[in-house]
Amino acid sequence: MYEAAGLSFNDSKKSLIQSRLSQRIQRLGLLGFGDYIALLEDESQAAEFQMAVDLLTTNETYFFREPKHYEVLEQELANRKTKGPIAVWSAASSFGDEAYSTAMLLADMQMLGRIGPDWSILGTDISHRVLLSAKEAIYPADRLRAVSPQRLKRYCLRGEGDSEGQILIQDKIRQRVQFGRLNLCQPIDAIGPFDVIFLRNVLIYFDVPTKIEVVDRVLGVLKPGGLFFLGTAEGRVACKTPLQTLQPGAFRKVG
């Protein structure tokens, strides 16, 4: 896991690993974790390896998580001197909640004339499964509990009948967001540069050296003066790229 995806689990994560993988091991009819490790080490079982990564890295997420970050984003974009293109990268996009939240905010800002019409969002993740779900853009209503009634009306469709309790993101938001698979522990090619990058709630899976490498690699495709967001609880990573702190978890790239 560490060599392939940079995932680092110390002894304190033992119960998490057991709870996330035990059901899968039973479903496969294996005798225990030793058999499962042997399966994962078999190069012909790449799909099962991806399944294990998915099970160990999928986090609970919801729309407009850490709302103060969106307040910073709105203020900083509104204060830009020009209304030129805006490129945003959700670098650990999971099920797409973050990417679509950002798209709703930017759509509102465009509607009010605070930014121009040329903006786009890229969402990437290491998990193929969560990316497929993100592209479908169908969510339990509870995941949108922090979305205002006005935005729900403008950008969402409520399910009826068999789909009651589910919400579909409208095409006018979905067409602004592209998704693709990317491993943050490998060189980043052919994307960027970006004006805004979210890298929230993914560094918890990496050890300290890997955190620094990943953050500097990601910041390499952020424009000078661009905005960078980490999870508030993650603190500031001791990266080599100079950053100005705007508030907890919110930074500007210096230079």
pLDDT tens for 101-119 read 999 999 999 999 999 999 9
Active site positions, annotated: 20, 125
Using CA of residue 123, residue 128, residue 134, residue 136, what is the dihedral sign? positive
Where are any strands of DSSP class E within the chain? 86-90, 119-125, 138-140, 156-158, 166-169, 177-181, 194-199, 222-230, 243-247, 250-253
Q: In the prediction, which pLDDT does 172 show?
A: 97
- Domains recognised in the chain with CATH numbers: 2-57 (1.10.155.10), 67-253 (3.40.50.150)
What's the mean pLDDT in 55-65?
84
pTM: 0.87
Tell me which amino acid residue 102 is.
T
How would residue 247 be classed by pLDDT, with cut points 50, 70 and 90? very high
pLDDT at residue 127 above 80? Answer: yes
